[in-house]
Chain A
């Protein structure tokens, strides 16, 4: 009986020593997971997830937050995050479908040059200066909606992006297609 205990105890000690050594020898410093998650997120910095930007949300996800909080990312982002974090897709309740992409537009006749929207834009997509006309750089606008609120004269509206021939998506409705859900 005693020998059994001694034997097991000795074994445990030996193994513990090996593991301890291995823990120090193979120590891993950085946690690149947050970077990976941040790369997947759409970088609109809109704050709709409740965090002040995409990087804080990435850190939250790495810390265990749910991955369905990002509307601009849409389903594709959720799928990629699920793959990365090893979360199964069935267990999530899908948030709303990806909305149509919109960009902000300033009605120049109403703009008073207050620079409030410039301060609000997280990607500096608004050009202008105090008491000068403001305008949106449509190519840089991520459609995050953060500029609409601060405008004191309500001259910013969100307009859908126009479809051009290059961006045309080959209307699927004209042929009956079965899209298979990937499990």
Chain B
């Protein structure tokens, strides 16, 4: 039994299952020489013409390029550069329909030839001294990809590290119409053989097999002459059968070996290269001509001069067609590739690429459009024709049913989409189309499954990370707690030790002198203490800067607050006297003072907290005031909405530990948020353009305000309160003048309420609250009187609430159910910050009741002060 190699040597050829014999129609072009055509006006060179990734773009619009100049650079192994087919200018780098069945746009270089055909400098590679890496690099740099139709980067195949038994050159060209390889072999057999030699040198195969179909006698003769004398090089003439040119089919025919499903030929020691690729390799290595043109068969009965052309890459198809005398028919079809495996072009602008071997412009009689798809009659002709030994009928049923499991079980992935099954189908079912859709679906599903896996992994990792952080935090807290415990224990121990020492000292006999000394010391301490206290008081009275310790502050604050209140009152009176404000401004001032009072009682908070909050509230209030004044219209609710929205938002973005530089950022943030909110409101058609301004106005003062690193809490609190009060006043004025709806008043107060509410710290102790509450109550009462005397429908300023929180006071002030108003709207905004002790709640209830009664009375007797 002779070995396989011996059999091959002897010239034996085998066969594969199935196959068809369509009419070859090659005589239109196979007898003619290869022609050229004049330079087109524009060349569209796609950046990616191969399987893999596009290279890095090297040129930009406006560059002048030389013929053969690289336009992209290959950054990795799967990238292959493209080159300028002729000298000219890059006029554009844009998207252009691709040479792909989808015609999806892809990036191309648009080159305008200058007609000079200036080459870039070329250096042949010295084959005697070049090593494998250099040759492979040259092949890659020359942009050579598989020219048989797949476009796989040739340097990867040619650089295979595994041992190669057979190098097979695919010169079969089994598809009808195409004669590009045929004429190439007829006219350039020597160059082709040089290319094959280079490949041989790289791969060191045991034998070289060149497969040609026997309907190309001239080509066979030329190749036989060219390889004459080369050891273990065999030219084999294969009986015509479509699709012998398929890689796996050719391997089976020439070596009787089958490539296992899902594997590549290199896995069984075989490398297959197209004869055109071999030609291109020879040109690249020996003459430094990169891949910038190829032979393309332009054929079809709507052409008067069909023939093979040396086509520059990037030539639009219509140029080739017109060079061959194109006479288009109505609804003319253009096919890129052969009639079996080619695809219809959507238009004639598509450029020639490295894998284009044929353009067909058929008449309707020549290649009739497929008839309607009929039902499968289960004849089994497709199964007989399949070269891969699949079951196309079953694949059709499962494709229709989208049964991916069965499709994969029936080896859909091995289908080479040759079209033999569709060719023989009596029902004219477009089988390959179904398979392509199914393959795309399966690929998509697999891709999604992979993504789901990854997403799950990320999700689990994230969960783990959060768990870990929680654990670490708990650990740290435990440690800190332990530390604190330790510290406390130490402190206690120390105190105990000191006490013990003291008692010991006490119990030991003190001399009279020591006792006296002790007494003096104690007296001195007490005196110092008193002095300090006095000094502190003086400080407070003179300036508003609290530089005392927290303990002292707590004592000083009520006094300070009272003083501040008095000042504010005075100021307000002055303002009134100068005719600036209405009577309400007095109340405003006093009201301002009240929250100020409340604000200063904050033993635990840092000053920057209040500064920020106060500033924000001030800004809001100011903006509201402006808005209410400026528009004074019924749409004020939207403004309030914006500002109210802004207020808590602004309040929210305040952080307790920021420095002044952060304030600016925060203000910007606040501004952005306010803007966004305003935009949202505007978009929903609620607000007018003024609300946007209002929001921005709000933001601006906020910006201005927050840059006050040293202001004390009481200052800003006062300011905020004042502003809030002013806003309220203005709103009332607007209402009083009959412009605004009643809701605007309540809303104004609502706005003020949260603003004020924000500035109140939840840590205030009850005694201060009581004081605060009392003051607030008094103020509110005054306000109520004034307001009622001014207008009838105003109930917003009712009163007597002795609540613990001023904001509560305010909102309850609005509560009183004056018939005209809608108290329910505003009954709600009770700051959550409140510490509702039992007595406070009771007080609130009492106050509410009183207010309601007063309001009723007021409604009945408008002129009578309550």
- Mark A residues whose CB is within 8 Å of B: 41-45, 53-54, 76, 110, 112, 114, 122-125, 131, 140, 142, 152-154, 163-165, 167-172, 175-180, 182
Bound CA span A133–B729, Å = 43
What are the residues of chain B within 8 A of A164 when measuring CB–CB? Answer: 104
In this complex, the member of A122, A140, A177, A178 whose beta carbon has the largest number of chain B beta carbons within 10 angstroms is A177
Bound CA span A176–B102, Å = 18
Bound CA span A159–B243, Å = 43
- Are B680 and A179 in contact (CB-based, < 8 A)? no
B665 is an interface residue with CB less than 8 A from chain A: yes
- Are A179 and B402 in contact (CB-based, < 8 A)? yes
Could you list some 12 contacts between A and B, CB below 8 A?
A: A43-B453, A43-B456, A44-B452, A53-B459, A112-B669, A123-B458, A165-B106, A168-B101, A175-B433, A177-B373, A179-B402, A182-B401
By Cβ-Cβ distance, the 5 closest A-B pairs, closest first, are A43-B456, A123-B458, A43-B452, A168-B102, A43-B455
- Are A131 and B665 in contact (CB-based, < 8 A)? yes
By beta carbon, the residue of chain A nearest B673 is A152
The residue that A170 contacts in the complex, of B98, B400, B433, B456, with Cβ under 8 A, is B433
What are the residues of chain B within 8 A of A53 when measuring CB–CB? Answer: 459
Known: A170-B436, A170-B437. A124 touches B676 (CB 8 A): no
Bound CA span A125–B397, Å = 40
Known: A163-B104, A170-B433. A54 touches B440 (CB 8 A): no
- Are A123 and B373 in contact (CB-based, < 8 A)? no
The residue that B100 contacts in the complex, of A110, A154, A165, with Cβ under 8 A, is A165
What are the residues of chain B within 8 A of A112 when measuring CB–CB? Answer: 669, 672-673
- Are A180 and B401 in contact (CB-based, < 8 A)? yes
B525 is an interface residue with CB less than 8 A from chain A: no
What are the residues of chain A within 8 A of B680 when measuring CB–CB? Answer: 154
- Are A172 and B437 in contact (CB-based, < 8 A)? yes
- Are B455 and A44 in contact (CB-based, < 8 A)? yes
B434 is an interface residue with CB less than 8 A from chain A: yes
B499 is an interface residue with CB less than 8 A from chain A: no
Known: A140-B454, A152-B649, A176-B372. A182 touches B403 (CB 8 A): yes
- Are B459 and A45 in contact (CB-based, < 8 A)? yes
What are the residues of chain B within 8 A of A43 when measuring CB–CB? Answer: 452-453, 455-456, 459
The residue that B673 contacts in the complex, of A45, A124, A153, with Cβ under 8 A, is A153
Minimum Cβ distance to chain B for residue A80 (Å): 10
Question: Helix, strand, loop or mixed for chain B's interface?
Answer: helix
Minimum Cβ distance to chain A for residue B170 (Å): 25
- Mark B residues whose CB is within 8 Å of A: 98, 100-102, 104, 106, 372-373, 397, 400-403, 430, 433-434, 436-437, 440-441, 444-445, 448, 451-456, 458-459, 461-462, 649, 665, 669, 672-673, 676, 680
What are the residues of chain B within 8 A of A168 when measuring CB–CB? Answer: 100-102, 104, 440
- Are A42 and B458 in contact (CB-based, < 8 A)? no
What are the residues of chain A within 8 A of B102 when measuring CB–CB? Answer: 163, 165, 168, 171
Bound CA span A123–B464, Å = 12
Bound CA span A125–B626, Å = 44
Bound CA span A43–B98, Å = 35
What are the residues of chain A within 8 A of B445 when measuring CB–CB? Answer: 76
Bound CA span A45–B104, Å = 33
What are the residues of chain A within 8 A of B459 when measuring CB–CB? Answer: 43, 45, 53-54, 122-123
Known: A170-B433, A170-B437, A175-B373. A180 touches B455 (CB 8 A): no
Minimum Cβ distance to chain A for residue B96 (Å): 13
Can you add 17 more A-B contacts, CB < 8 Å, to A44-B452, A54-B459, A182-B402? A42-B455, A43-B452, A43-B459, A44-B455, A112-B672, A124-B461, A124-B462, A140-B455, A154-B680, A163-B102, A163-B104, A165-B100, A170-B440, A172-B437, A177-B434, A178-B400, A182-B403
Minimum Cβ distance to chain A for residue B369 (Å): 11
Bound CA span A123–B454, Å = 9
Known: A43-B453, A165-B102. A122 touches B669 (CB 8 A): no
Minimum Cβ distance to chain A for residue B53 (Å): 11
By beta carbon, the residue of chain A nearest B98 is A165
Minimum Cβ distance to chain B for residue A58 (Å): 11
- Are B676 and A169 in contact (CB-based, < 8 A)? no
Minimum Cβ distance to chain A for residue B194 (Å): 35
Minimum Cβ distance to chain A for residue B618 (Å): 22
What are the residues of chain B within 8 A of A124 when measuring CB–CB? Answer: 458, 461-462
By beta carbon, the residue of chain A nearest B370 is A175
Minimum Cβ distance to chain B for residue A116 (Å): 11
What are the residues of chain A within 8 A of B458 when measuring CB–CB? Answer: 123-125, 140
Minimum Cβ distance to chain B for residue A2 (Å): 60
In this complex, the member of B106, B451, B669 whose beta carbon has the largest number of chain A beta carbons within 10 angstroms is B451
By beta carbon, the residue of chain B nearest A140 is B458
- Are B672 and A153 in contact (CB-based, < 8 A)? yes
Bound CA span A43–B372, Å = 42
Minimum Cβ distance to chain B for residue A90 (Å): 16
- Are B462 and A170 in contact (CB-based, < 8 A)? no
- Are B676 and A154 in contact (CB-based, < 8 A)? yes
What are the residues of chain A within 8 A of B397 when measuring CB–CB? Answer: 180
- Are A54 and B462 in contact (CB-based, < 8 A)? no
Minimum Cβ distance to chain A for residue B107 (Å): 12
By beta carbon, the residue of chain A nearest B440 is A169
By beta carbon, the residue of chain B nearest A44 is B455
Minimum Cβ distance to chain B for residue A128 (Å): 15
Bound CA span A180–B397, Å = 9
- Are A180 and B400 in contact (CB-based, < 8 A)? yes
What are the residues of chain B within 8 A of A76 when measuring CB–CB? Answer: 445
What are the residues of chain B within 8 A of A41 when measuring CB–CB? Answer: 452
What are the residues of chain A within 8 A of B101 when measuring CB–CB? Answer: 168, 170
What are the residues of chain B within 8 A of A176 when measuring CB–CB? Answer: 372-373
Known: A122-B462, A123-B462. A169 touches B444 (CB 8 A): yes
Bound CA span A54–B463, Å = 13
Known: A169-B441, A169-B444, A175-B430. A45 touches B665 (CB 8 A): no
What are the residues of chain B within 8 A of A177 when measuring CB–CB? Answer: 373, 400, 434
- Are B676 and A152 in contact (CB-based, < 8 A)? yes
Bound CA span A53–B401, Å = 31
By beta carbon, the residue of chain A nearest B454 is A140
What are the residues of chain A within 8 A of B453 when measuring CB–CB? Answer: 43
What are the residues of chain B within 8 A of A165 when measuring CB–CB? Answer: 98, 100, 102, 104, 106
Bound CA span A94–B685, Å = 37
Bound CA span A153–B649, Å = 11
Minimum Cβ distance to chain A for residue B769 (Å): 34
By beta carbon, the residue of chain B nearest A179 is B400
Bound CA span A175–B344, Å = 14
Minimum Cβ distance to chain A for residue B399 (Å): 9
By beta carbon, the residue of chain A nearest B105 is A165
By beta carbon, the residue of chain A nearest B439 is A170
Minimum Cβ distance to chain B for residue A23 (Å): 35
What are the residues of chain A within 8 A of B402 when measuring CB–CB? Answer: 179, 182
What are the residues of chain B within 8 A of A140 when measuring CB–CB? Answer: 454-455, 458
By beta carbon, the residue of chain A nearest B462 is A124
By beta carbon, the residue of chain A nearest B397 is A180
What are the residues of chain B within 8 A of A110 when measuring CB–CB? Answer: 672, 676
By beta carbon, the residue of chain A nearest B373 is A176
Minimum Cβ distance to chain B for residue A100 (Å): 13
Bound CA span A55–B101, Å = 41
- Are B444 and A167 in contact (CB-based, < 8 A)? yes
- Are A169 and B100 in contact (CB-based, < 8 A)? no
By beta carbon, the residue of chain B nearest A151 is B676
What are the residues of chain B within 8 A of A167 when measuring CB–CB? Answer: 440, 444
What are the residues of chain A within 8 A of B100 when measuring CB–CB? Answer: 165, 168
In this complex, the member of A122, A164, A175, A176 whose beta carbon has the largest number of chain B beta carbons within 10 angstroms is A175
Minimum Cβ distance to chain B for residue A138 (Å): 11
What are the residues of chain A within 8 A of B454 when measuring CB–CB? Answer: 140
What are the residues of chain B within 8 A of A170 when measuring CB–CB? Answer: 101, 433, 436-437, 440
- Are A123 and B400 in contact (CB-based, < 8 A)? no
What are the residues of chain B within 8 A of A45 when measuring CB–CB? Answer: 455, 459
Minimum Cβ distance to chain B for residue A117 (Å): 14
In this complex, the member of B372, B400, B452, B680 whose beta carbon has the largest number of chain A beta carbons within 10 angstroms is B452
Bound CA span A45–B680, Å = 29
Bound CA span A177–B372, Å = 10
